[in-house]
Amino acid sequence: MKTFRQVMSWVIPIVIGLLIALLIKQFLFQVVRVDGPSMQPNLQNNERVFCLKRSQIHHGSVVIFDANGVDPQVAVKTDYVKRVIGLPGDTVRSKDGNIYVNSKKINQDYISMKQRDAGTGNWTLKSISVQNSWLKHNGATKVPQGEYFVLGDHRSVSNDGRYWGFVPKDKIDGVVKVPSWAGTKTTRQNVNKEWQHFYAK
């Protein structure tokens, strides 16, 4: 009996700790690893960031979502990291390296002029939905209710909403925050606070 009590004295705290960790991961935040170059120069391959489960999604927020059921090429749970450009009800178009949301030019200081010109292209939601044969919402002129339009920062290599469409809200795991010890002051600002300066002045 004494041995049993001794064993339980360290087993119970471990179980409680695991349960707390599981609840935190499920409902509050988790640490995730960035995979690939699609968010360069602001997030690097293999960089570790926080995914905040309950943060509000704004224009310009960087989010993590499950691409299974969103990107037709993905058949198992796969996390994508992208920047939210269009909220439900928005119109989005791109011309000469500039992006317009609801006919207002957005701020893209988080990427260089060369990255905008070389990677973004000229399009409307309707034109890219037809050109890239979206399986859902083909011909859409606005972001549907309950869904979001996302782009990678490294536009010339990013596999994003231009090619497969919109991200349903229930697929989004949370909002990315770069911790104070990672990246640079500029890249942290470009991920953590860019949503505060979404539209160009």
pLDDT at 6 > cutoff 80: no
- Residue, of 82 and 25, whose pLDDT is higher: 82
Specify the 3-state DSSP secondary structure of 174: strand
Specify the 3-state DSSP secondary structure of 105: strand
Q: Round to whole Å and give the CA distance between 197 and 190.
A: 10
147: left (phi over 0), alpha (psi -120 to 50) or beta: beta
Phi/psi of residue 85, nearest 5 degrees: -105, -40
Which residue in 82, 94, 158, 171 is the catalytic one?
Answer: 82
Domain 34-197 has CATH 2.30.110.10: no
Q: Cα 64 to chain center, whole Å?
A: 4
pLDDT at residue 14, rounded to an integer:
59
Q: Round to whole Å and give the CA distance between 40 and 60.
A: 15
The mean-pLDDT minimum among 7-11, 29-33, 92-96, 110-114 falls in 7-11
Decide: 93 and 99 in contact? Cβ < 8 Å: yes
| Residue ranges per structural domain of the chain | 1-28, 34-197
Which residue in 2, 9, 25, 38 is the catalytic one?
Answer: 38
Q: Is 38 a known active-site residue?
A: yes
Q: Is 82 a known active-site residue?
A: yes
Place of tokens 């990013």: 158
The model's pLDDT over 54-100, given as tens digits with 9 standing for 90+, comes to: 899 999 999 999 999 999 999 999 999 999 999 999 999 999 999 99
Decide: 173 and 28 in contact? Cβ < 8 Å: no
| Assigned token pair, 130 | 């037809």
Rounded to an integer, the average pLDDT of 10-38 is: 64
Averaged pLDDT of the chain:
89
Instruction: Give me the amino acid identity at 108.
Output: Q
CB neighbour burial string for 20-44, b if at least 16 within 10 angstroms, e if fewer: eeeeeeeeebbebebebbbbbbbbe
β-pair partners for 168: 147
